[in-house]
Chain A
Amino acid sequence: MSNSLSEIYVFVVAGMLLFTVFCVFIVFFVTSYYRKQQQNQKEKQRLQNQFNEDLLNSTIEIQEKAFDDISRELHDNVGQQLSAASIYLNLLIQEQKEHDGGKLESCRDIIGSSLQDIRQISQTLLGEKISKVGLVASIQLEITRINKLGLCVAALEAGDLHFALDPRKEVILFRIVQEAISNATKHAPGCELLVSIKQLGDRLDISIRDNGKGFDAEQLTNPGIGLLNMQSRAQTIGAIFSIQSQTNEGTEIKISLDGKETTVAETP
């Protein structure tokens, strides 16, 4: 066989072209594959977030339903029974005023006070009531209850809010504040507690600060259920949640919410 250079060149050039096409194809395939892999990961993450959000919303709904049920039960059943007992005691006091009215009066006062407490608890548990009376008034009610129990010395600083909050978000914000107050009374009994609600432009800033024993926030690797609850609740309404604490320097919880996203569309 004789060598024919031109035919061999054609073979070599065609071979190199084919090899180049193959390499380009593989590079294109690998790039497309990785792009698709990234898209899938993003989609998976999005679905996971969506699922978590739905789960969180369901949990909050279930909790709110349980609170509503407890509130109604307290108001309609226990409250009614205590009211009836109070009426009977009044009658008994009138009948037996000459004998031992003093003890019965004390008993009536205790029942009356319990009735008032139950009504207050009932109000703070009922979501509808919170959105009806408003965030600030509900927090004020909670602070009054805490002060009355003597768990903390609590105060509220609140300016005027120039936007109407979405009722659902209002209830969630209240639950966060309620949880923060509850944490303060549990971990720093007898402390001074200040709840501050401010509107800065379009932002609503809520701060719950106590002067209790505090903790090292940087060492907090495994937050408790209460803290996680607050974080996840804030996440569902798109609020920024932060906690600052130092040992022996108290704790401050901040919730910041964009007012634009929070306002309810005005109905004509």
Chain B
Amino acid sequence: MVGYLFLNKIGAWGHRLVVYLVVISILFFIGLALFKKLSNSSKILVALIGLGLASDIVARFIAAATRYSTPGYHLYIPLQYFLLALFYGIHLKKYGLWFSYSPLLMLVLAILNTIYFQSIWAIPSNMVLICSLSYIIYALITFNYLLNNVSEVSLLKSDLFWSNAITLAYFTCTFFCWSFYNFFVKKKINTTLIADIIYYANHIYYLTLGMAIIMNSRKKKNVK
């Protein structure tokens, strides 16, 4: 959700935001209800939805107090990276070392970015771009992994396929939108379109993650 709240009127609780929070809350509670049936990687997806929900609510409170919603995102982005690294680390064991230590690296980069480039009152777009690019690479590696480890189960019934495909689509969209956002701001162009795209992309992202979680809960429990 990073960016959407910022791109709208700071502190505004528009109906679209309410709809978004209701949707993400429902998905989170469904995830919690199914938690015991889920594999470890799907439990991480539930945590990811929970983190998204928490960060958006916290951002509202910070915005209400300071008129800026950005401080929460400076913490949200490294935490989100930590969860997604954990998620991909489960599937891509070959790169286990990278997924173990890269969250630390991202945390250091996030701190350096906040100190030297984008203060706590600015959108951490540099980190958004770096992390989005990382997720795109991880998603592509995962697709390669899927292709090299073909199972007998239909691909369309694979929760990993859906969660990975939506991660690729969502973060490609995020990367693309944020790349243009900086340009639009410089040129003083209205960014509503970008905000709208991110808003709907968020819905699709979380709904697909929810679908992947439900699919996983219906599978026989396995190691992953």
Query: Within the complex, what minimum Cβ distance (angstroms) separates A16 from chain B?
Result: 11
Q: Does B115 contact A (CB under 8 A)?
A: no
Identity of the chain A residue whose Cβ is nearest the Cβ of B189 in the assembled complex = A4
**Inter-subunit contact A36/B193 (CB<8 Å):** no
**Inter-subunit contact B147/A33 (CB<8 Å):** yes
Encoded as 1 (CB less than 8 Å from any B CB) or 0, chain A from 6 to 27 comes to 0110011011001000100010
A32-B173 Cα distance, complex, nearest whole Å: 24
Q: Does A1 contact B (CB under 8 A)?
A: yes
Residues in B with CB closer than 8 Å to A8 are 189, 193
Q: Does B180 contact A (CB under 8 A)?
A: yes
Identity of the chain B residue whose Cβ is nearest the Cβ of A11 in the assembled complex = B180
Within residues 138 to 174 of chain B, which ones have a CB less than 8 A from any CB in chain A?
143, 146-147, 150-152, 155, 165, 168-169, 172-173
Chain B residues touching A, range: 20 to 34
Q: Does A183 contact B (CB under 8 A)?
A: no
Name the one of A3, A34, A40 contacting B155, with C-beta atoms under 8 angstroms.
A34
**Chain A residues touching B, majority SS:** helix
Chain A residues touching B, range: 20 to 34
Within residues 7 to 59 of chain A, which ones have a CB less than 8 A from any CB in chain B?
7-8, 11-12, 14-15, 18, 22, 26, 29-30, 32-34, 36-37, 40-41
**Inter-subunit contact A26/B165 (CB<8 Å):** yes
**Inter-subunit contact B191/A33 (CB<8 Å):** no
Identity of the chain A residue whose Cβ is nearest the Cβ of B185 in the assembled complex = A1
Interface centre among A1, A7, A36 (most CB of B within 10 A): A1
Identity of the chain B residue whose Cβ is nearest the Cβ of A10 in the assembled complex = B180
Name the one of B155, B168, B172, B188 contacting A1, with C-beta atoms under 8 angstroms.
B188
A30-B161 Cα distance, complex, nearest whole Å: 10
Residues in B with CB closer than 8 Å to A26 are 165
A40-B146 Cα distance, complex, nearest whole Å: 14
Residues in A with CB closer than 8 Å to B172 are 18, 22
**Inter-subunit contact B147/A30 (CB<8 Å):** no
**Inter-subunit contact B190/A2 (CB<8 Å):** yes
A26-B168 Cα distance, complex, nearest whole Å: 10
Query: Within the complex, what minimum Cβ distance (angstroms) separates A201 from chain B?
Result: 44
Within residues 174 to 206 of chain B, which ones have a CB less than 8 A from any CB in chain A?
176, 180, 183-184, 187-191, 193-194, 197
Given A11-B184, A18-B172, 10 more A-B residue pairs with CB atoms under 8 Å apart are A1-B184, A4-B187, A7-B183, A7-B189, A15-B197, A26-B165, A30-B155, A33-B155, A40-B150, A40-B152
Residues of B within 8 A of A (CB): 143, 146-147, 150-152, 155, 165, 168-169, 172-173, 176, 180, 183-184, 187-191, 193-194, 197
23 contacts between A and B (CB under 8 A): A1-B184, A1-B188, A1-B189, A2-B189, A2-B190, A3-B190, A11-B180, A11-B193, A12-B193, A18-B173, A22-B168, A22-B172, A29-B143, A29-B146, A29-B147, A30-B155, A33-B147, A33-B150, A36-B147, A37-B150, A37-B155, A40-B152, A41-B152
